[in-house]
Structure 1
Amino acid sequence: MTTIASFSYATAALAFLLLSVLLSTTWRGRAHGRVLVLASAITAGSNALLAWEALHPIQWSVATDSVEILRNGAWSAFLIILLGHFEDKDSKLPFRLRPSLALIIAFYVLFFGATLLGYFRLELVSESGLMPGVAGRMGMAVLGMLLVEQLYRNKPEQERWAIKFACLGIGAMFAYDFYLYSDAMLFHKVNADIWAARGAVNALTVPLIAVSVVRSASWSAELAVSRRVMFHSAALFGSAIYLLTMGSAGYYLRYFGGSWGSVMQVTFLFGAVILLLGILFSGSFRAWLRVFISKHFYSYNYDYREEWLRFTSTLSKPGPGLGDRAVQAVGALVESSAGLMWIRRESGLFEPAANWQVAPAMVSEPADSPFCQFLDSKEWVVDLQEYEEWPSKYDDVAMPAWLQAYPRGWLVVPLMMQGRLFGFMLLMQPRSAIKLNWEVIDLLKIAGNQAASYLAQYEAANALMVARQFESFNRMSTFVVHDLKNLVSQLSLLMSNAERHKHNPEFQNDMIETVNFSVQKMKLLLQKLSRTVTPENPVALPIERLLRQAVAMKGGFEPQPALTVADAGLTVRADWERLERVVGHLIQNAIEATARDGRVEIGLARRGESVLIRITDNGEGMSEDFIRERLFKPFESTKSAGMGIGAFESQEYIEELGGTLEVTSERGRGSTFTIILPLLKQERQDAHTLNQAA
């Protein structure tokens, strides 16, 4: 076996020596020739030393171990340089691996120093002192394979043909070392057969490296490694180092644990694996690793191609919930864990529109508030922590009081649309600390504008859809009215003809009764459909009298509604018929949602300069999702015969009058609809009376 091993390593030494000579003479102008010559020469020397020691009783001396470490380090250095990591400090390339290069150098220096001191000696058969040496060499093999994988994966498709044989050859050397030392770690000794074949395997890699050297004119060092690949490689490399360390610790627990050694080793390794899985699946750890990689390994914080593809993909997903996805897409840029969004409405308020991983907001912000005016004019991203320490930087603008309800609030991102504030987002604290600089702030501004355009397009599409539905509804009403007129005329003619046949009283009476009922029903339907085109006539009207008439019209239903007037003589300006229809619709809904033995109460009171009308029932109630998503949307109805426009029309008309319609409800406890209308003051009523008299 010693002769076979000597011949094997001698062959490898001659092969790499020939490669070194060719690189120094014929191919001396090739890319990265000096480092490649150094790596090839050290490999030739390492194999020659192993071939000589295979014929002598003293094996694996300090010199042999040290030269092997230098050989692995030389090939790793060649791969790193080929990756383009030695760029100038002012390089425009987005990737600089100086910190990782320092870690690799530190690893090799420490291992080399420990070997010289005799701590990491490798012997052919050893029950003590084997594990540290094997673990270190496995670490070098894993590092080499990772570098090969990085080099090949990130090369452009057209350049891989030139580098693939070098990757195959160098990777084969590191892969065989990993196999050799894994077997040694498993059986606590180096397998002599595998060790003897190692030289021949290394010799077979020389032609592969030579082929790539011939093609080396197309090698390029200008390589940008994606952050995703760097993230997964860093996680893989860290996991490998962690498992190697834990494996070594488990071995010593078994070695020194006595009768409890095996139990302690298994328990320790199982706990180590569980801890590793917990760390790898931790969102905070993954966020920290991404921020760490972007901060220390790249000139810029973001891979803009990847980030923009992810951002656009999130916004473009089909289905509802665009607002929530917009908050998620913008928050992901800064590792924010949650957020809220407000959007400007026609009422002049920025109302809550979306929430992501946080409870929905219930507070609106006036568009003319100092906070909104500041966002509209400056278009700044507001760092709330910076504002607390340095409010003058933000012109000492007053922040909304409701922000205090969000102690984890971090950033306020304006959503600008055509130079106007369309809305704003409140992002919560990130999973990992992020330094806000011009790059992050500019990206948030651009992302906010892009999100605003998506949201505005979505709002416009919904408005167009509602307009088309109303157009279809009005067209349908026209046809229905026309058909009803024809039916009424025909039935009227039938009745006039039927009166001539009085000789059969029983038949005539039944016919007259049936036809008359149909005529009355169709006339009532015709009246309801035609009412929508009646011109409005807003006047000063006593709201108490209107409520009493609306309640009286519902007196035949159960439960009967009851009216309570706290303040009499209140007057509003509105169209009597439309307001009565709004109030009647809300009362009817309350009656239909309440059991016969329940109660429906209508209250009238004054609050400041407003009139409050409360319609309360103790019926089924509604969920928050139904109120927010469906209640006031047109053509959305839970009734089998409902058209779904009553609540929508009620809200629209009340807002036209300058009022608001508020809803509070709880499942199983009932609902309360509150109509708030501007009070028509006495002096305005007097002025109106004088004008009419004039």
Structure 2
Amino acid sequence: MTSIAAYSYALAAVCFLVLGVPMMTRWRGRNHGRALTAACLLSAAWAAALGWAASRMVMWSAMTGVLEILRDAGWSVFLAGLHGHYRDPRSRLPFGLRPSWFAGGCLYVLMLAATLAGYWNLPLFARFGLMPTVAAHVVFAVYGMLLVEQVYRNKSAQERWAIKFACLGIGGMFAYDFYLYSHTMLFHETHPDVWAARGVVNALTVPLLAVSVGRSKSWSTPLAVSRRVMFHSAALFGSSIYLLAMGSAGYYLRFFGGSWGTVMQVTFLFGALVLLAGILFSGAFRSWLKVFISKHFYRYNYDYREEWMRFTRTLSEPGPGLAERAIEAVAALVESPGGVLWKRRDGGVFEPVAYWHVPAVSAREPDASPFCQFLESTQWVVDLHECARYPERYEGLALPAWVESFPRGWLVVPLVLQGKLFGFVLLQNARSPVKLNWEVIDLLGIAGSQAASYLAQQDAANALMVARQFESFNRMSTFVVHDLKNLVAQLSLMNANAERHRDNPEFQRDMQETVSYSVQKMKLLLQKLGRAGRPENPEPLAVDQVVRQAVALKAAFEPRPRLEIKSAGLYVLADRERLERVVGHLIQNAIEATPRSGEVVIRVGASGAGVLVEIADTGAGMSDEFIRERLFKPFESTKSAGMGIGVFESREYIIELGGSLEVTSKPSHGTTFKVVLPLYQEETQAIEQAA
């Protein structure tokens, strides 16, 4: 049996050596590569030692026991790394040990001591023989199986596909060890067949590990402990320790205080609770704890996803005060309690525009000053404390007097936009010491550029709003000028025909109507200018009457427009003055485009569920390209004195009423405008109002 055991363990040693040696070079930079390589080599050494001991008819020895503990520790470390909770924290323990590994290492040291005590038959364990050693190995086996279960259970479906064979192989090794040592504890002796087959069993796990090695890229995902969870957990743990210590101190005060013991205990505990509440609600303490956790437990100082989400949420909050929120967002990155924002004005001077938890200052800085030129050219974050101690590091920087006199001034963060200095933020000292390394400085620079873009966008939005107000005023003025032009054209035509037709009674009557209409139109324009911006008051209008009035006002022009009423009594809901102006614009354009020998016809009728107003002429017509590209574009006109807004305004108002404007035209064959407006029905309106 000893020869069989020797070959069995020799086979296991060769298999683990074949798996471990190539990984010493190929897996040097991979995740968990060192732990897996070490575990394979330790397993190979352990199997070789047992094979050599079996050839000498020795089943147990101190050397094989120590190697077996190291082999179990190697696979436990590999499983712990595969679990995914040991990548980010940075330890400050001796020799670079991580806290969780240090706790597990202490357990293994205690078990190692118990094992060696059993092998060496120390007096304390003399009557128990090897039982402490066997018990220690049982504990190792149980711990290994628990690790395998935890690793597999906490992985996703894709990760389980990658690690299932490794878990099966390692779990099989620990399960077989548990069976071997449990049998030994139960019967106080080791079964030789079970012990001999152990080498072959371990060798059979090597192919399973090799399959998982091929899937190693999917072993783990970049999981990490949230800084927020770490912060609250540390605060809770510290508070628990503090309360436990204070409770113990209060107990001893009561026990040794005599008649004053209860009073001293209650007073002491109340003071301890007040002190704890003050510490937990202290901004300086919270800042110190965040910096401490980032410094001692994480590779980077910031959780960039969370910081950027907080930064963006702060700047994107609705409402006024964007400049104050920009200071707050930048200051939160370095735990600063307050600051001031300077921004470039039109006169080329940087002025303070916002304050956050600091008193107001009135310092102004020209953009051509050495201070501003230094910030724009270098785009550096200026540490005022460092600048005072080591001015040679900021060559060319001349600090203004107001910067040096600023209370508790610390950092000057430039707000750079497209290579130009848009502004800068002056921050006060942090609540807790923050080391300005390359990571903090780069983050402040990027945050400054982001804040500058938000502030520039706000300035652009304000400028656009002012421009739209001027545009609205100019547009209204343009429409007024357009109406005045039409009135002047009518009066000029009447004045030109007055000398020839002044004795004609019909002309005199038309002239009187035209003058009256012009006066009425001018009064309406003045009223419109006076109530600019107020909403209109639409009312039910008979379309035939509105069109008839518009045609009558064009009766003095040639060719004289002809009206055809096909359906009377059709109503629409609109403003009388605007609807009449729209129809008048279209009729005026038809008259101006038609020679005196031509014809202009206006028809009013029904069109399905709407009202149709058709203006047709036999004039010059228009091309399809002109209709598509220029007809409805404002300030585009083919007439020398035209404004180019008549058709544009007509279509805009028709669409506003829920109607449509269609144009059909051919060059030299005339043009037809079809205005379709929704029909207003009194019965339907009454039913809707009653409902």
What's the TM-score bracket when you normalise by the shorter of the two chains? 0.3 to 0.5
TM-score for both structures, normalised by structure 1: 0.43
TM-score for both structures, normalised by structure 2: 0.43
- In terms of Rg, which structure is larger? 2
